[in-house]
Amino acid sequence: MSVAGDMRLSLRVPTRTVFEASARSVFAVAENGAFGLLPRHADHVAPLVPSVLVVTGTDGREYFFGIDHGLLVKHGARVEVVVRRAVRGEDLASLSDTIDATLLEMDEAEREARTAMSRLEVGIVRQFAELRKPAA
């Protein structure tokens, strides 16, 4: 990484690092609008909204990510992006299909988790009901 010409970008979700690379530029969308970052851009903090994050690598290749709510922090040559969910697409055209498929999987997993939590709650309520019965 050159001192003046690159940034080091890290894209993370709560459970893992999704992407990490040197970058020439970053394009993101915050609550107050879209913006771009270059290596010598002033330090910056922005709350991100669900949108497309575009990263241009030092080799000129563009990387596309569908992201959920999160936060972007640029400090010096480091850019940290932390979001709830992120999906990588090969290009803008395929990103929409990738997001749709991933969100369907996530919705199913969340539905299963809610069902499991409901069963646990019912079991706990039953156990408390048993505790309240007078001893024979």
> How much is the pLDDT for 3?
46
Please work out, in degrees rounded to the nearest 5, the angle formed at the alpha carbon of residue 34 by the alpha carbons of 54 and 50: 70
User: Is 74 part of any domain?
Assistant: yes
User: Is 82 part of any domain?
Assistant: yes
* Interatomic CA distance for residues 25 and 130, integer angstroms: 62
User: Is 40 part of any domain?
Assistant: yes
Task: Let me know: does 7 contact 37? Beta carbons within 8 Å.
Answer: yes
Number of domains present in the structure of the chain: 1
E-strand spans in 15-136?
A: 16-30, 33-37, 44-48, 51-57, 62-67, 70-75, 78-83, 86-89
> How much is the pLDDT for 115?
83
User: Is 115 part of any domain?
Assistant: no
> How much is the pLDDT for 104?
58
> How much is the pLDDT for 121?
85
Structural domain that includes position 50: 7-89
Q: Which domain CATH number covers 13?
A: 2.60.15.10
* Interatomic CA distance for residues 71 and 62, integer angstroms: 21
